[in-house]
Amino acid sequence: LLQLSVPLNFIGFVYREIRQGLTDIEQMFDLLEVEAEVKDRPDATTLQIRQGAIAFKDVHFAYDENRPILKGLSFEVPAGKTVAIVGPSGAGKSTISRLLYRFYDIQQGSITIDGQDVRAVTQKSLRTAIGMVPQDTVLFNDTIAYNIRYGRLSATDEEVSAAAEVAQIGTFLRNLPHGYDTMVGERGLKLSGGEKQRVAIARTILKAPPILILDEATSALDTTTEQEIQSALDIVSKNRTTLVIAHRLSTVIGADEIIVLRDGKIAERGTHQGLLEADGLYASMWNRQREATQAEEHLRKVRDSD
């Protein structure tokens, strides 16, 4: 009996090992599937940034071939300028940022940076050149200092705190009992959406990329937080080619050009003032949002006076 139990245990051990191995392989395939969406061409070159000008030419894209999302989109973000994309929910705004970062390949047209097609360069060089401030930043279960330094691992402590100050989160961090050594993430301090976004901005300041994508949070932020984030963003986007995916209109007033997207096409384009004067879709979105903000403020006052 004893003699038999050893090999049986052993078989159990081997079985568990194999099963674990299979699960790992399955997980690996899951990961690969996500990654396999786009691949570097065998002859992929390193993206050479000269000025950092972005051009979308007649871009057609669908996640699912039966449902086109972008139907022939053309626009440029000249070097150092800021272009904001606005439009109704589901219009394809965030999709544009994912295509520039090449999470997916387009079906027709081209997306170029300084004349180089994003499909012809390595993903590594593309993603090194672009700083992305996403809607929802994932924080590592580590210190806040590590989370900021992730933008550039060689950054000194002084550079990390300087970036945090510019990102308007320095005061908050300095006042934490453990300061920059505070653990954050799932097992640490939970940060609000606005705080996380400022951590992402601090990371991006350290990374100092020539091209910036700001995918604004959909969630409403209070006015003070919004203004703090806005001034941090104004600093990072200065003299950088910036594409703003705007879900709120207050952030786009200063953009060099605003593109209004509807049904996968450009419905209107111009400056804030020009679009208000044109009195079209943008003007009606603007008025609606202003009314909503006023209603919210009124509600808050009523509540506060109780």
Residues engaged in binding ligand ATP (CB under 6 A): 63-64, 69, 87, 89-95, 218, 247
Shortest distance (Å) from residue 36 CB to ligand ATP: 14
Residue 250 to residue 231: CA distance in whole angstroms: 12
Question: For residues 69 and 118, which CB has a smaller minimum distance to ligand ATP in the complex?
Answer: 69
Question: For residues 44 and 220, which CB has a smaller minimum distance to ligand ATP in the complex?
Answer: 220
Question: For residues 15 and 63, which CB has a smaller minimum distance to ligand ATP in the complex?
Answer: 63
For residue 70, how many C-alpha atoms fall within 13 Å in the half-sphere facing its CB?
29
* CB 155 within 8 Å of CB 237: no
Structure tokens at 234: 């104004």
Shortest distance (Å) from residue 150 CB to ligand ATP: 25
Shortest distance (Å) from residue 282 CB to ligand ATP: 15
Question: For residues 231 and 284, which CB has a smaller minimum distance to ligand ATP in the complex?
Answer: 284
Of 107, 128, 104, nearest to 48 by C-alpha is 128
Torsion angle (degrees, nearest 10) of CA 127, 130, 134, 140 = 50
Question: For residues 262 and 272, which CB has a smaller minimum distance to ligand ATP in the complex?
Answer: 262
Shortest distance (Å) from residue 261 CB to ligand ATP: 7
* CB 104 within 8 Å of CB 63: yes
Question: For residues 62 and 79, which CB has a smaller minimum distance to ligand ATP in the complex?
Answer: 62
Question: For residues 46 and 218, which CB has a smaller minimum distance to ligand ATP in the complex?
Answer: 218
Shortest distance (Å) from residue 285 CB to ligand ATP: 12
Strands (E), the chain: 54-64, 67-77, 82-86, 108-113, 116-117, 130-133, 211-215, 241-245, 257-262, 265-270
Question: What φ, ψ does residue 136 adopt, rounded to 5°?
Answer: -135, 110
* CB 251 within 8 Å of CB 220: no
Structure tokens at 122: 């390595």
Shortest distance (Å) from residue 253 CB to ligand ATP: 18
Shortest distance (Å) from residue 193 CB to ligand ATP: 14
Residue 16 to residue 138: CA distance in whole angstroms: 33
